[in-house]
């Protein structure tokens, strides 16, 4: 049964004739359990009444302006964060072009740029405008960056023509919006990952780190989103862009990473430790830059062991399905199996490092997924492809283990 219970849906209405159906759409979304807030584009108010939308949504309607008055209520960033999904219905050809260009020239476009939530659009326009090459290219681009395209439908149009371009009916749109939350092998599941290196400070300007680029962890975060999961990425310092729909928590040291993981672990179904966490950190962190000593040629740094975040998660009373990584230069399988057992993991992804074609910073990887009673070889492929295969195998094992 499709449901939107407790889901916050931001309904953006743009200036097309199908906007007259949106009070009904709000009702249908609320019937499925959603909380709905409405944002009107500049021209939408010509086609539907704000008062009607306010009455059916139970909230005051946000209009196109981003002025001091509206920002003093629920500001645009809060509204962007509030949404679990942004549904633009109807989405005109003009709005689609502006969305594709990442414009942020009024409240609704700004929200689309600022949100982390899934965006869905319900195109509605004359059939020629829909068939137009520019519109089709815009749609293709939006699809490629993860925007869900709902419809359009075909049939009689308000302009008197017949063809593809009608907005889907409110009931269908509400159901298709609910279905956005139900797709993929990890639909409705929460996945937390660690990624990247850690930085263990020696003084305010120096520290100990490693060559982890974060590529593998970020690719797995993206694959988990594609599989329908709600993803939290606890990441050390990297130069990578956070994938869409991933909630990133930026950390620096191993201790920060451990704190961020433990604070949020309770609600997680799956934990994947991909980060290259420093095994040790300096015992003392100098308040000021450490000065070079003219009379000594050597310097000693005393280090203390960092907590093992992964083992700590696996040792919880009610642990999530826990997956570790083992980067080894030799005897990969044997060492990885040792880690699987010692850290009480459900699965370990073992890879060979030290060569120059796979591992730290390279675009490709080749790994063995090892469980108590299985070994699955993932042949050399891009980290994006390896990540998708890994998530597929994790979801199979996770669903079996439940």
Residue nearer to ligand C5P on the CB measure, 43 or 209: 209
Candidate ranges 52-60, 232-240, 270-278, 356-364; the one touching ligand C5P (CB under 6 A): 270-278
* Distance between start and end Cα atoms, the chain: 21
| 346 is a contact residue toward ligand C5P (CB under 6 A) | no
Using alpha carbons, list the distances in angstroms from residue 385 to 97, 333, 364, 367, 388.
31, 22, 9, 12, 5
Candidate ranges 66-74, 226-234, 323-331, 381-389; the one touching ligand C5P (CB under 6 A): 323-331
Distance of CA 113 to the CA centre of its chain: 14
**Hey, which residues between 295 and 314 contact ligand C5P (CB under 6 A)?**
306, 308-310
Candidate ranges 92-100, 179-187, 269-277, 365-373; the one touching ligand C5P (CB under 6 A): 269-277
Residue nearer to ligand C5P on the CB measure, 110 or 194: 194
Residues 6+ apart with CB under 8 A from 137: none
Q: In whole angstroms, give the CA distance from residue 43 to residue 49.
A: 12
| 324 is a contact residue toward ligand C5P (CB under 6 A) | yes
Burial 314-344 (b: 16+ CB within 10 A, else e): beeeebbbbbbbbbbeeebeebbbebbeebe
Q: In whole angstroms, give the CA distance from residue 248 to residue 193.
A: 10
| 178 is a contact residue toward ligand C5P (CB under 6 A) | no
98, 337, 339, 352: which one binds ligand C5P (CB under 6 A): 339
Q: Is 288 a known active-site residue? A: no
Distance of closest approach, residue 345 Cβ to ligand C5P, in angstroms: 8
Are 89 and 121 spatial neighbours (Cβ–Cβ below 8 Å)? yes
Distance of closest approach, residue 215 Cβ to ligand C5P, in angstroms: 14
**Helix 93-100 and helix 133-144: axis angle, to 10°?**
50
Query: Which listed residue (74, 159, 240, 353) is catalytic?
Result: 159
| 194 is a contact residue toward ligand C5P (CB under 6 A) | yes
**Residues with a known catalytic role:** 159
**Applying CB under 6 A, which residues contact ligand C5P?**
194, 254, 273-275, 277, 306, 308-310, 324-326, 339
């Amino acid at each position: 049964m499709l449901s939107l219970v407790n889901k916050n849906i931001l309904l953006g209405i743009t200036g097309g004739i199908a906007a007259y159906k949106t009070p009904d759409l709000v009702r249908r979304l609320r019937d499925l359990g959603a909380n709905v807030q409405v944002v009107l584009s500049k021209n939408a108010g010509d086609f539907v009444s704000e008062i009607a939308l306010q009455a059916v949504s139970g909230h005051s309607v946000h209009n196109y302006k981003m002025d001091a008055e509206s920002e003093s209520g629920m500001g645009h960033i809060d509204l962007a964060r509030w949404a679990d999904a942004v549904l633009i219905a109807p989405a005109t050809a003009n709005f689609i072009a502006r969305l594709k260009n990442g414009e942020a020239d009024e409240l609704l476009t700004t929200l689309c740029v600022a949100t982390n939530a899934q965006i869905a659009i319900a195109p509605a326009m004359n059939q020629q405008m829909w068939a137009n090459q520019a519109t089709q290219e815009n749609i293709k681009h939006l699809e490629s960056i993860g925007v869900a395209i709902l419809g359009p439908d075909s049939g009689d149009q308000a302009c008197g023509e017949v063809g593809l371009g009608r907005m889907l009916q409110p009931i269908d749109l509400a159901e298709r919006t609910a279905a956005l939350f139900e797709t993929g092998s990890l639909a409705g599941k929460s996945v937390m990952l660690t990624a990247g290196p850690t930085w263990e400070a020696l003084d305010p300007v120096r520290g100990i780190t490693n060559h982890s680029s974060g590529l593998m962890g970020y690719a797995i975060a993206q694959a988990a989103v594609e599989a329908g999961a709600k993803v939290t990425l606890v990441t050390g310092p990297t130069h990578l862009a956070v994938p869409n729909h991933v909630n990133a928590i930026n950390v620096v040291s191993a201790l920060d990473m451990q704190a961020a993981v433990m604070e949020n672990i309770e609600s997680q179904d799956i934990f994947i430790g991909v980060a290259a966490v420093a095994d040790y950190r300096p015992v003392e962190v100098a308040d000021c830059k450490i000065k070079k000593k003219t009379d000594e040629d050597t310097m000693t740094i005393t280090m203390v062991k960092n907590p093992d975040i992964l083992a700590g998660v696996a040792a919880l009373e009610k642990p999530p399905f826990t997956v570790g990584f083992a980067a080894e230069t030799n005897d990969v399988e044997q060492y990885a199996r040792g880690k699987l057992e010692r850290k009480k993991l459900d699965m370990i992804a073992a890879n060979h490092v030290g060569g120059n074609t796979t591992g730290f910073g390279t675009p490709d990887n080749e790994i063995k997924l090892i469980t108590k009673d299985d070994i699955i070889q993932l042949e050399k492929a891009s980290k994006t492809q390896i990540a998708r295969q890994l998530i597929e195998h994790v979801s199979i094992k996770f669903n079996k283990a439940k």
